Amino acid sequence: MQNGKINGVLASVKHFIGDGATLYGADEGNVNVGNYQTFLKHNIEGYKGSISVDVGTVMCSYSAINWVTMSIGPQMQYILRENLKFSGFVISDYLELGKISWQQLPTDFQKMEGY
């Protein structure tokens, strides 16, 4: 980005935030967070680096933090906009909004039999 204008390819970083910390490593799972400061300290560095070099989009995770889905919960916007000063686009993952409408929360273990 130069002078507030996009020049070239618009890069994206994903999946914000918590995909690697879900309970039992469940895809589209829940992250139990007791202390947000500790959680962010261990999970935010890659995003901070990407934002510092003007990545244009951040794709939200379909995971949840304390059972609040990242794509519809307020914590993602607050962390990105207030803490990291990200001013680009926030985008959803493929079919994410549809999944929320029929599945509600991220994948639950009842749907993961044999996992």
pLDDT digits (tens, 9 = 90+) for 76-109: 888 899 989 999 989 887 777 777 777 666 555 5
Please state, in angstroms and as integers, the Cα–Cα distance from residue 63 to each residue in 1, 5, 6, 68, 106, following that order. Answer: 29, 32, 30, 8, 6
Amino acid at 63: S
Evaluate whether 66 touches 32 at the Cβ level (below 8 Å).
Answer: yes
Average pLDDT, the chain: 81
State pTM to two decimals. 0.76
pLDDT value of residue 6: 67
